[in-house]
Amino acid sequence: MLFKISSRNIILTIFVMALSLTAVFLSDKTAFGGKIASFLGPEPFKLTLQFLLITVLGGALSAFLMARKEEEARDDTKRKDNQARRDTRIANLQALDGKLAEAHRHMKSSKRRLRSRLDRTDPKRPTIAKSDFEECMDQLLTAQIAVEEIQDLIATRRDLIKKSDMGLIDEFLQYAARYSHNVFEDFEKGRVKREADRFLLDEVAAPNLYDFLMKSSESELIATQRDIIKDKHRTYEDRRAVLAIVEGQRLFGKVALECMRLASSELKHLIDAELAQDERSTLG
């Protein structure tokens, strides 16, 4: 069907017909020598012309109001679409932050559980039961995989995080993922000596795992740079430069946990920005 029947098309048709007839009636004397007025009579001619003028004005007003209504409907649809996209983005960002928080809990829980079960009879050679150790290593591996999955999502889902926003988050996560990988690798590569049903920790043989459990001492450089990373008043470039410095050194658990916390903080900042946009849209 070439011509769709709708209230708008009906009004437009009536308006065009009324406008055409009005033009004909107004040009009766000049174009037709007053033949239309003579045929209808003066009074009917006048009434008909008034009716046509009212129809034209009414049609114009109706067309204007209908156009406004359609524009408002389009704007409302656009607002709803934007709101739906923001709601989806917020939900996905919150899911990422929740996954990161869970990974952070796994790492801290694994660390606390292992430390609580350490036998420190010989302070230089602490030991732990095989079953406890292996279970906590599985928990640490889960945390590492979760962090890597978040990294992959951030790298591929540009609808969630803009390229300009993802740099620092990705670098924080990269440090945490590398650290947890190194810790697990000490176990996976057999660098932890086993005697019967217990594992023995040795700082020289398994430095990453020893740091994870025993809090090996940080250098003054690392401690200073870690404080700069934590400082929210520092610029993006300052923190990024510092992170590059500490990544070039031996990785430390304190820095890794701080990086996970800061990545979560950056995600929350993006969520807050979306919620603020919602508030502005509502007020607008």
DSSP run (H or E) holding 23: helix 7-26
What pLDDT is recorded for position 280?
64
Helices (H) and strands (E) counted in the chain, each on its own, are 10, 3
Residue 56: what pLDDT?
74
Please give the pLDDT value at position 1.
44
Find where tokens 């406890």 sit. 132
Mean pLDDT by 10 residues, the chain (284 residues): 59 73 73 72 77 75 80 86 84 88 87 87 86 88 88 79 74 87 89 88 85 70 70 71 70 81 84 77 57
Alpha carbons 170 and 176: distance in angstroms, whole number: 10
Contact 201, 127 (CB under 8 A): yes
What's the pTM value of the predicted model, to 2 decimals?
0.66
Bridge partners of 165, per DSSP, are none
- pLDDT score of 272: 85
